[in-house]
A and B are shown apart, each in its own frame.
Chain A
Amino acid sequence: QVQLVESGGGVVQPGGSLRLSCAASGFTFSTSGMHWVRQAPGKGLEWVTFIVYDGNNKYYADSVKGRFTISRDNSKNTLYLQMDSLRAEDTAVYYCASWARLGDFNYWGQGTLVTVSS
């Protein structure tokens, strides 16, 4: 079965950095676009970033552009999110996910909590 397992969350001070990982299994990772979506405590879902299957194109929400970097290693079936210059408003559960534009291909990980606080 499909599994997406995030890791790397934790507590970091404002201005600090953190790197999240998402280990994928049960589907063809190397041909799938991948997303990060976040959810601040008590708030709604916010799309953060997307990377195409081969890593050649990446897209970011304005709120993280220039601070976050998405990448992937298809040889390791792993997705990454490098988060720099973190702010309090980046505090959220971060989910890795993959979905098709059309159709029911849709998978989410369990999420990892990032807390930015001094």
Chain B
Amino acid sequence: EIVLTQSPATLSLSPGERATLSCRASQSVSRYLAWYQQKPGQVPRLLIYDASNRATGIPARFSGSGSGTDFTLTINSLEPEDFAVYYCQQRSNWPPYTFGQGTKLEIK
């Protein structure tokens, strides 16, 4: 089973700052990695697929990078609506389709 480890667990930043979220896989997942955003009471929303492609309707301030075992989600110039929990998910070796434990992005 591939384990995804996200860091940090919590990230405290102010609007306008840049957020850098990490997702590390226990073995290579090539580029089969997605990022989701989830706000309280809402369904997870796909942000990034195939490690670096923005999903439809996702603002350009969101970007993904990486391949193999190390991945990064970057959010430039944080907007108030960006404060949420972010999950990475691997779609390489399954079952299971593992998720990271999440990074909570909170307002400082």
Interface residues of A, Cβ cutoff 8 Å to B: 35, 44-47, 50, 59-62, 95, 99, 101-104, 106, 108-111
With known contacts A99-B91, A106-B46, A45–B99 Cβ distance under 8 A: yes
**Residues of B near any A CB (own CB < 8 A):** 32, 34, 36, 38, 43-44, 46, 49-50, 53, 55-56, 87, 89, 91, 94-102
| Chain B residues with CB below 8 A from A106, complex form | 34, 46, 49, 55
Contact B95–A44 (Cβ < 8 Å): no
> Chain B contacts of A109 at CB under 8 A?
43
Contacts of A99 in B (CB 8 A): 34, 46, 91
| Interface contact B97-A44, CB-CB below 8 Å | no
**Assembly CA distance A45 to B38 (angstroms):** 10
Are A103 and B50 neighbours in the complex by a CB distance under 8 Å?
A: yes
| A111 closest partner in B (C-beta) | B43
Beyond A47-B99, A104-B55, list 18 extra A-B contacts (CB 8 Å).
Answer: A44-B101, A45-B36, A45-B38, A45-B44, A45-B89, A47-B98, A59-B94, A59-B95, A60-B95, A61-B95, A95-B44, A99-B34, A99-B91, A103-B49, A103-B50, A104-B49, A104-B53, A111-B43
